[in-house]
Structure 1
Amino acid sequence: MIVACFCFAIMGVFVKLGSAQFSAAELVFYRCVAGFIAISMVVLPQGKTFKVSGPMFKLHLSRSVSGFVSLLLYFYAIAHLPLSTAVTLSYTSPLFLTLLMVLFLKHKPQRKQVVTIVLGFVGVLILLKPTFESSLWMAGLIGLFAGFLASIAYINVNKLGQAGEPEWRTVFYFSLFSSLGAAILMLLQSQPLAPLNQSNIWIVLGLGVSATIAQLSMTRAYSRGKTLAVASLAYLTVLFATLFAVFLWDEKLGVSSFIAMSLIAGCGILSSARGIKKQ
């Protein structure tokens, strides 16, 4: 998961760089088609089967749909918000994950866990406050919703792992569905497609490579580890992304932003730790 976090932060850097030339749909397409090609090149020569049963297909479909929409919203947020803010909002997924486990998996939360979840979302409100006071409020809400959808995707990844589905097949179907979905959106978008040339091809390649490595690493972490434990480590992406933003774009965060990010990360980890004790 640490490898995944580092590569996801690098992916965020390439998305930020590419957003000046490409739409969110184009960036999602290049990110996912790279994963699809990489997985196919490794799997096809081995003669592995892509067939899955009906119940497994439903899980793959749910994981792919939620993951695709989450990724699309996440890339939009990165393009319109400071990198550290967009990443932090997306990684509210552990907080949403805990809520979903309580609501749908019938896990009874402890009182302290409820408090940490509430404080975590207080951190979200503090972090979103500057966006609500500007024209960026929609981007802030979109980034937050990306975190919610990511939590649904992670639950499905964990269920697929528990059912014995290999990591490569989970990544394959997600990459295939997302590539097709992004391609359709690219055809429907009003703005013309940005041509690939020597000045931007390195962005596309960097985006594809970093995202593929991150996706494979994250999928293995969620399928082999305890969901909430792995989810808590996801906050390392916030740290890596913040460091990249400071060094590459000289992004400066106010005291309130640091307090909000600390609340979100700390409460997410605490709620995860208490959830692990109940598993």
Structure 2
Amino acid sequence: MVLATLLFATMGVCVKLASVYYGAGEIVMYRGLVGTLFLFALSRAKGLSLKTSVPAMHFWRSLSGVIALSLWFFAISKLPLATAMTLNYMSSVWMALFLIGGAVLMGAAKVDPRLIVTVLLGFVGVGLVLQPAMEDQQVWHALAGLASGMLSAMAYLQVTSLGRAGEPEFRIVFYFSMGGVVAGALTTIVSHGGWHGHTWTGAALLLAVGVLATGAQLLMTRAYGTGKPLVNASLQYLGIVFSALYGVLIFGDLLGLLSWIGIALIVVAGLGATLLRARNTPKDAQHSVQES
């Protein structure tokens, strides 16, 4: 799991560097293309079937996941790397908010007050993290990062449903990657920037994004399959630490004290929400595949 989070953070670096050469849609497309080709070859080599009996479920999971990924890549292009990563990791807090909303809609007499505390704590952290972005006129990138976390939570719910429907992880990742190819291409076609020509540096960065993302997803899938879900969920937050180090060493990102306090609050809220959710969720429903 530690290696998986390191690969995801390294992928974030490559996305930020690649955003100089390409639009977010292009990066999503090429990331998905590498994953699709690799998983197709893997399925053929191991005799694994890619045929699914629930195509509609894969469509909605891919739709929410690809939109989340596109928004996150857009946020990474301008925000400090640690800030963009932290906003994406708000997915656990969004999950808690969904649980509260679901309980209210179902007419529950009582909502776990600890869940409410984690949500409030998480959004206080968001306010602190986003304050510098608002001052630097990066409002749209900040909102995109926040929305990516919400859509990642929705994708998590759909991954859980697919798992309960008997879909293996590699098939879920395959259709998600394929959805990225289609959505990324369509987004690029209709976008103002359109297609960009390749350079050796740009092509190498795109390849790195695809390889790192696919490798990280496979490692994370294995970690959830063999390790303790709560430990793995906690270790994911090392991605913020790795991203912060990359941001300082490569991009010269210097976050203020309030931003670090906000990041800490989001991590605490995310861990708390994960723990509370795990106590009321079957073990097999805790396994998920990260969207980045």
State TM-score, norm by structure 1: 0.91
The one-letter code sitting in structure 2 at the alignment partner of 1:18 is A
> 5+ unaligned residues in a row in structure 1: which ranges?
none
Residue 153 of structure 2 is aligned to residue 178 of structure 1:
no
Shift of 1:117: 1.7
Using the alignment, how far apart are the partners of 2:126 and 2:226 within structure 1?
29
Aligned to 1:73: 71
Shift of 1:88: 0.7
Q: 1:94 to 1:212 in 2, by over 3 A?
A: same
Aligned to 1:242: 244
Q: 1:170 to 1:220 in 2, by over 3 A?
A: farther
Q: 1:58 to 1:230 in 2, by over 3 A?
A: farther
Aligned to 1:272: 274
> 5+ unaligned residues in a row in structure 2: which ranges?
282-292
> Do the aligned residues in 2 keep the contact of 1:154 with 1:222 (CA within 8 Å)?
no
Using the alignment, how far apart are the partners of 1:17 and 1:263 within structure 2?
28
Aligned to 1:209: 211
Deviates more, 1:148-157 or 1:128-137: 128-137
SS in structure 2 at match of 1:80: coil
Using the alignment, how far apart are the partners of 2:99 and 2:166 within structure 1?
21
Shift of 1:236: 1.8
The one-letter code sitting in structure 2 at the alignment partner of 1:145 is A
Shift of 1:267: 1.4
Aligned to 1:20: 20
SS in structure 1 at match of 2:51: coil
Determine what percentage of the aligned residue pairs are the same residue.
38
Deviates more, 1:17-26 or 1:216-225: 216-225
> Do the aligned residues in 2 keep the contact of 1:22 with 1:194 (CA within 8 Å)?
yes
Q: How does 1:184-263 map to 2 (within 5 A)?
A: 184-220=186-222, 230-263=232-265
Using the alignment, how far apart are the partners of 2:230 and 2:101 within structure 1?
15
Q: 1:68 to 1:4 in 2, by over 3 A?
A: same
> Do the aligned residues in 2 keep the contact of 1:31 with 1:211 (CA within 8 Å)?
yes
2:82 counterpart (74, 81, 84): 84
Deviations 1:56-106 (A, max 9, x none): 323212210010000000000000111111111111001001222333476
Aligned to 1:39: 39
Q: 1:217 to 1:160 in 2, by over 3 A?
A: farther
Q: 1:80 to 1:231 in 2, by over 3 A?
A: same
The one-letter code sitting in structure 1 at the alignment partner of 2:135 is E
The one-letter code sitting in structure 1 at the alignment partner of 2:87 is L
State TM-score, norm by structure 2: 0.87
Aligned to 2:169: 167
Deviations 1:38-57 (A, max 9, x none): 0011112444322222xx32
Q: How does 1:9-158 map to 2 (within 5 A)?
A: 9-53=9-53, 56-104=54-102, 109-158=111-160
Shift of 1:192: 4.3
Using the alignment, how far apart are the partners of 2:132 and 2:238 within structure 1?
23
> Do the aligned residues in 1 keep the contact of 2:96 with 2:277 (CA within 8 Å)?
yes
Shift of 1:232: 4.2
Deviations 1:125-167 (A, max 9, x none): 1111222233101110110000000011112212222332111
Deviations 1:198-222 (A, max 9, x none): 2322211211110111222344556
Q: 1:272 to 1:47 in 2, by over 3 A?
A: closer
Shift of 1:261: 0.2
> Do the aligned residues in 1 keep the contact of 2:100 with 2:115 (CA within 8 Å)?
no
> Do the aligned residues in 2 keep the contact of 1:131 with 1:137 (CA within 8 Å)?
yes
Using the alignment, how far apart are the partners of 2:215 and 2:176 within structure 1?
14
Deviations 1:11-43 (A, max 9, x none): 100001111111101111111111001001111
The one-letter code sitting in structure 1 at the alignment partner of 2:99 is M
Using the alignment, how far apart are the partners of 1:36 and 1:19 within structure 2?
22
Q: 1:4 to 1:63 in 2, by over 3 A?
A: farther
The one-letter code sitting in structure 2 at the alignment partner of 1:202 is A
RMSD: 2.2
